[in-house]
Amino acid sequence: MADYQTITLDRRGSVAVITINRPDKLNALNSQVHIEGVDALDELRTDDAIRVVVITGAGEKAFIAGADISEFAEHTAITQRNSFQERTLFNTIDTFPKPVIAMINGFCLGGGNELALACDMRIGSETARFSQPEINLGIICGGGGTQRLTRLIGEGRAMEMCLSGDMIDAPTAHKFGLLNHVFPADQLEAETLRIAAKIAEKAPIALQLTKEAVKFASKSNLDEGLRREVDLFALCFSTEDKAEGVAAFLEKRKPVFKGK
């Protein structure tokens, strides 16, 4: 297991919790966070005991308050472009085969919101706040904000968030579809882990193929998506978990999925 400096990795049964651990910087994303976050996900990718990953931020003030702006001063156009063409944490989360849930406490701004957008679900506390404030620095989103946010909440709402840089609260984010659930701050962790554990009980291969199918929907037309769905649906019929799921249903018992 790697010795991480900017994150922590905690295994809780079949759920792993990655915590961005820079509370003094409101968990701002720097290059080391990206590197260590990618390494942690690579570690979890091949750990068959882990079926769901939760990502959160240390402390009560912030999930992630954006990118570490101090690094921007050192970057030229070319070095910044090159750094975002490498394996960023955003894209690693997006393409990670297992479900990833963002557990959002406090500020979720800029790159923090983009990281949450790369996750498969977002669960927030009532104190969570969201924005894409890059416009205030004379730049635009660079971690998927203009793309993933638009696909998630629609062009009009995404356009306003990206053009204004204004902050929205948790109820508004939930209404927009940015958040799946909102809970009181003192219940956020328990409720998020409850949802993660419920998902982790499902067949691991079916979880992976479901994620692949849903992600494909935003990148294809309906005909292509339906063809991909049928292919992935049929692929499930080659698994031991499909046989176990059907048998358990017919025998009126709880299935025991093994990821095979």
Residues designated catalytic: 114, 134
103-121 burial by CB neighbour count: b if 16+ within 10 A, else e? bbbbbbbbbbbbbbbbbbb
Q: What's the one-letter identity of residue 30?
A: N
Torsion sign across C-alpha atoms 89, 90, 91, 92 = positive
Write the CA distances from 235 to 39, 165, 205, 210, integer angstroms. 29, 44, 10, 11
Residues composing the chain: 260
C-beta of residue 99 within 8 angstroms of C-beta of residue 53: yes
Q: Residue 203: CB partners within 8 Å, gap ≥ 6?
A: 239, 241, 242, 244, 245, 255, 257, 259
Integer Cα distance of 140 and 112 in angstroms = 14
User: How big is the chain by its Cα radius of gyration, in Å?
Assistant: 19
